Each structure stands twice: as structure tokens, then as C-alpha cells.
């Protein structure tokens, strides 16, 4: 940040990635509380054909475990929540999409208002879904395990 940096507001983007098609259901909401998350879940509920199971991979953010969200989950038995381990959000494929929207639509952008930021998000989301392709892992499980082992060995050697 520079001395002349000015923050013009924020927004929250909830996103659900269909791993089969690569399409994203996105909702821009003013805050990241239980009621906004439930509103997003309702949007996912409306977008996914009836009868299909919905598996949600989530981080351990408190909002995702709020009592009202837990009640919503009990009332919608086709939804199943799975939580990534702490500090392992990279396991959630939608994080790759968040990286793309950050680098291609938000970072280094100039947004004079929340509305202009939301417009850039809306434009990226529409373009993404028109051209959606599924993500695929490019490393084998064995290669990932080797990387983890190497990082662990380096860490342990230093401590």
C-alpha cells in the first residue's frame, strides 16, 4: 500500500464451483455473516436441480458453523458440508477460482466505489461461466505427498 491508498469499501463474494462443468454460482453480499451465507445457500439450492446431492467444501470460518446455518443444513438434507483442515484451504478447488478472479479482475484495479468493484466481479463471473471449463489437478497424489514431505523435513531441520 502507498501513502495515498484509499479504501472505498468492501463486498463479500460467496462462490460455489461445480467441479464437473467449471461453472460458478456467485453471490455478492455486503457482509459475511450467517444470514448472508444462508442467502447464498438458498441461491445454490435454487440453481442446482432437485434431487441432486450438493457437497460443500468449506473452510472453518465461524459463519459456516453458526447455529442458524446448522439448522438450515438440517432442513436441507441433500446438502452435505465438508470442512478443510485449518490452514489447508488450498485443498478446496474453488480457492483456485478465487485466485483467478483476484489476479484477472480485482488486483491492481481501481474501484471508486463498492458498486464498481461489484461490477467487475459480476463481469468476470459472467465471462467465466460463458467459457467455463473444469479445473483439473496437474500433480499426482504421490508428487503432492513428496512436496509435503520435503517441506516438513525443511521445517523440522530448522526447528
Q: Check residue 8 and give its pLDDT.
A: 65
pTM for the model stands at 0.76
Question: What is the homologous superfamily of the domain 12-158 according to CATH?
Answer: Ribonuclease H-like superfamily/Ribonuclease H (3.30.420.10)
Nearest residue to 14 (alpha-carbon basis) of 46, 48, 39 = 39
| Of residues 4, 11, 78, the one with CA closest to residue 41 | 78
Kindly state the DSSP code that residue 70 receives in the 8-state scheme: H
- pLDDT recorded at residue 75: 97
**Could you give the dihedral angle defined by the CA atoms of residues 135, 106, 26 and 141, in that order, rounded to the nearest 10 degrees?**
20
Structural domain boundaries in the chain: 12-158
For residue 66, the surrounding DSSP H or E stretch is: none
Which among 83, 24, 18 is positioned nearest to 53, based on CA atoms? 18
pLDDT in tens, the chain (159 residues): 555 556 666 788 899 999 999 999 999 888 889 999 999 999 999 999 999 999 998 888 889 999 999 999 999 999 999 988 877 766 778 888 989 999 999 888 888 888 988 999 999 999 999 999 998 878 888 888 888 877 777 777 776
Q: How far apart are the first and last CA of the chain?
A: 33
Amino acid at each position: 500500500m502507498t501513502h495515498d491508498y484509499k479504501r472505498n469499501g468492501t463486498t463479500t463474494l460467496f462462490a460455489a464451483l461445480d467441479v464437473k462443468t467449471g461453472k460458478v454460482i456467485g453471490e455478492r453480499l455486503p457482509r459475511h455473516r450467517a444470514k448472508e451465507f444462508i442467502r447464498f445457500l438458498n441461491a445454490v439450492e435454487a440453481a442446482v436441480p432437485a434431487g441432486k446431492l450438493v457437497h460443500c467444501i468449506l473452510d472453518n470460518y465461524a459463519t459456516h458453523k453458526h447455529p442458524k446455518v446448522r439448522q438450515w443444513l438440517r432442513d436441507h438434507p441433500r446438502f452435505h458440508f465438508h470442512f478443510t483442515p485449518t490452514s489447508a484451504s488450498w485443498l478446496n478447488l474453488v480457492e483456485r477460482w478465487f485466485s483467478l478472479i483476484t489476479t484477472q479482475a480485482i488486483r491492481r484495479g481501481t474501484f471508486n466505489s463498492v458498486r464498481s468493484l461489484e461490477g467487475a466481479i459480476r463481469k468476470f463471473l459472467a465471462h467465466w461461466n460463458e467459457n467455463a471449463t473444469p479445473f483439473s489437478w496437474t500433480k499426482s497424489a504421490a508428487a503432492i505427498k513428496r512436496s509435503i514431505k520435503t517441506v516438513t523435513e525443511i521445517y523440522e531441520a530448522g526447528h
